[in-house]
């Protein structure tokens, strides 16, 4: 029997409307009247292809166009959220729900859990985790090279905490440094669990797989870390598959897994809407450390 299309909670939809959609809609450069599809001064097809480069743009830089004007890095991030966040949210949510029993074992273990969100973007996977586990208490560490992305992640996840999507004692931080991320267990200096998340990380053309593998192993070897899992989800593009396979080859013998799975899920664009969109992706859970 086919699964019903996914939809997000009212609180999550309200957060998206407040943090993303209305900021685009009310911008003086936006024109959605009479069938127009101009957001922040740009037509949708130009946003998708030229500004966002299908999600792989450099979000540390502004975008300039002689016809449509200049977009700041913050503008680009807002447009990324507007165009991509729903699809990425439901992909991450479907992945977390598939591994919910394993995630609950980590978060219900009685010791603090760090979510190391690699290539965190605007914090979408953190929102999906909140939706999946229902108000988890998490020490969130988002890693991204773009300051505007890190800023958006902090603001969106802080709003999620204020709306009780995350536990009130959750802590939200971000960094651009793999070395700083690797030092997190020592900085906390008490027993912790670590959940690595990699949603779309391996699609990055600039990603150095060695950085990912080395950071995972440093954290695995920490005496403070009791459980360590790594959740992967990504589109079916070849580059992401190649880099993820290279990552796993570097760490052969270090993890247990039931294999990579291809998935397809539908989701409602709005809670009250009938039309749905579809997302296709691969997912996999790697268990690196499980100390009772």
94 and 160 share one domain:
yes
Range in 124-138, 173-187, 191-205, 268-282 the model is least confident about: 268-282
Q: Establish if 72 belongs to a structural domain.
A: yes
117 and 236 share one domain:
yes
Beta strands per DSSP E along the chain: 38-39, 42-43, 63-65, 69-71, 113-118, 139-143, 171-175, 192-199, 225-234, 261-268, 276-290
Q: What is the dihedral of CA 35, 36, 40, 45, to 10 degrees?
A: 110
The CA-CA-CA angle for residues 208, 144, 225, to 5°, reads 80
Query: Which DSSP letter does residue 256 get?
Result: B
64 and 133 share one domain:
no
Domain end among 50, 84, 118: 84
Domains in the chain, number: 2
75 and 114 share one domain:
no
Stretch 246-267: mean pLDDT: 95
Stretch 248-258: mean pLDDT: 96
DSSP SS3 for 238: helix
What is the CATH classification number for the domain harbouring 98?
A: 3.40.50.150
213 and 197 share one domain:
yes
What is the reported pLDDT for 1?
56
**With contact defined as beta carbons under 8 Å apart, do 143 and 179 qualify?**
no
125 and 46 share one domain:
no
Could you report the per-residue pLDDT of 80-101, keeping only the tens digit for each?
999 999 999 999 999 999 999 9
132 and 273 share one domain:
yes
56 and 98 share one domain:
no
151 and 187 share one domain:
yes
Domain end among 36, 62, 84: 84
Burial of 53 (0-12, 13-18, 19+ CB in 10 A): exposed
Q: Establish if 101 belongs to a structural domain.
A: yes
Burial of 128 (0-12, 13-18, 19+ CB in 10 A): buried
Find tokens 């992909």 and name the residue: 91
pLDDT at 50 over 70: yes
How many percent of the chain have pLDDT more than 70?
A: 99
61 and 108 share one domain:
no
Q: Establish if 229 belongs to a structural domain.
A: yes
Range of the domain at 59: 10-84
What is the reported pLDDT for 87?
93
Structure tokens at 155: 């603001």
Stretch 37-66: mean pLDDT: 95
Find tokens 């440093």 and name the residue: 218
Q: Establish if 1 belongs to a structural domain.
A: no
**With contact defined as beta carbons under 8 Å apart, do 182 and 211 qualify?**
no
pLDDT at 237 over 90: no
Task: Return the HEC string of 14-65.
Answer: HHHHHHHHHHHHCCCCCECHHHCCEECCEEHHHHHHHHCHHHCCCCCCCEEE
Going by pLDDT thresholds of 50, 70 and 90, the confidence category of residue 276 is: confident
Q: Establish if 2 belongs to a structural domain.
A: no
Stretch 155-167: mean pLDDT: 97
Could you report the per-residue pLDDT of 166-225, keeping only the tens digit for each?
999 999 999 999 999 999 999 999 999 999 999 989 988 889 999 999 999 999 999 999
Going by pLDDT thresholds of 50, 70 and 90, the confidence category of residue 78 is: very high
Find tokens 């539908």 and name the residue: 266
126 and 247 share one domain:
yes
114 and 78 share one domain:
no
Q: Establish if 3 belongs to a structural domain.
A: no
In terms of pLDDT, which residue wins out, 194 or 55? 194
Going by pLDDT thresholds of 50, 70 and 90, the confidence category of residue 240 is: confident
Domain end among 84, 116, 136: 84
Closest CA to 75 of 121, 109, 41: 41
């Amino acid at each position: 029997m086919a699964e019903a299309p996914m939809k997000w909670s009212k609180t999550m939809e309200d957060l998206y409307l407040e943090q993303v959609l209305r900021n685009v809609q009310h911008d003086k450069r936006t024109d959605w009247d009479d069938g127009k599809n101009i957001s922040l001064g740009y037509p949708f097809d130009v946003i998708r292809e030229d500004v966002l480069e299908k999600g792989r743009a450099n979000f540390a830089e502004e975008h300039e166009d002689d016809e449509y004007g200049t977009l700041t890095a913050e503008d680009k991030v807002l447009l990324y959220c507007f165009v991509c966040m729903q699809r990425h949210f439901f992909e991450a949510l479907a992945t977390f729900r598939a591994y919910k029993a394993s995630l609950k074992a980590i978060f219900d273990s009685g010791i603090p859990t760090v979510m190391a969100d690699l290539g965190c973007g605007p914090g979408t996977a953190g929102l999906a985790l909140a939706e999946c586990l229902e108000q988890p208490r998490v020490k969130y560490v988002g890693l991204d090279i773009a300051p505007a992305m890190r800023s958006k992640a902090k603001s969106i996840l802080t709003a999620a905490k204020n709306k009780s999507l995350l536990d009130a004692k959750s802590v939200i931080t971000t960094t651009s440094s793999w070395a700083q991320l690797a030092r997190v267990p020592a900085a906390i200096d008490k027993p912790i669990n670590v959940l690595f998340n990699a949603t779309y990380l391996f699609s990055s053309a600039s990603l150095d797989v060695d950085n990912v593998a080395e950071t995972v192993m440093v954290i695995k070897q920490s005496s403070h870390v009791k459980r360590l899992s790594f959740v992967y989800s990504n589109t079916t593009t070849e580059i992401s598959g190649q880099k993820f396979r290279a990552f796993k080859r570097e760490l052969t013998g270090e993890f247990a897994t039931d294999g990579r799975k291809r998935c397809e899920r539908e989701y409602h664009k709005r809670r009250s809407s009938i039309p749905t969109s579809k997302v296709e992706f691969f997912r996999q859970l790697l268990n690196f450390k499980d100390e009772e």
